[in-house]
Structure 1
C-alpha cells in the first residue's frame, strides 16, 4: 500500500499542505503513521479524491470530443515569431507548451491571462515511477 507524507500528497495534487490537513479534518482522507511515526495519507484514497476534483470534459466549452486529456488553465506566455507561435498554459501545477501557427494563435485570440484548454490526443503516453530504494 502506497502512502504519502502530507507535503508529498499536497505537491502531487497541486494544493497546499493545509488543504490536505483540512481534507483529513473533514474526513475526506484518513491519517495514518508510517513505521517511523510520520503522518501519512493513503495513496489510493488520495487518488479517489483527486478524481472528484477533475473537470469533466463535457463541462468545458460547447464541443464534443474524443480526446479525454483536457487541461483547463491560464495562458502564461504567447511568443509569436514569424509563422509560428509558442504558447504556455499553466493548469494547476502543470506547465503545458503548445507549438502552433501564428495564424492559429491570433485566431484564438490567445494572450497572457486568458483562459485556455489544452486538449491532448496521443496514441503514446509515457508514464514513469520512482525506483524502489536498494535494500
Structure 2
C-alpha cells in the first residue's frame, strides 16, 4: 500500500473525516485529499506526527511507498545542491570583488597578499563549480 492509501485507512479506521484529520495536522481537507489521491505527500515532520499519533512506525509508512522515499531523497539532494551553489557564488563573487578592488590600490605587499587570497577564492569556487556541475548532471540523469 502507498502512503496515501495508508493515510486513508488510518483516517477511516478512526472514524475521521478528511477535515478532522487535516485539523489534527494543521492542514486543509483538500491537502488530506491530495495525500490520499497521491497528488502530493505530507512533509517529513507531518509523517512523524502521523506515526506518533496513530502508533504506526515511520518505517512502515515510508517503506510502503517507494515514490515518497525517492521524492524525499531528491528534495534533500536538491537542498544540498542549493547550499553548495551559494558557497560557490560567494567564493567566486567575493574573490572577484577582492581582486578588482585591489587593482586600484597602490603597489604593496599587502595588496599582493590580498589579490592572492582573492585568486585562491576564485580558484576554489571554480573547482567547486566543476564538482557541482558533475553532481547536477548525475541528479538530472536520475
Whether TM-score is above 0.5 comes out as: no
TM-score by length of 2: 0.23
Asked which structure has the greater CA Rg, the reply is: 2
* Structure number having the greater helix percentage: 2
Task: Tell me which protein shows more strand as a share of its residues.
Answer: 1
Instruction: Give the TM-score of the pair, scaled to structure 1.
Output: 0.24
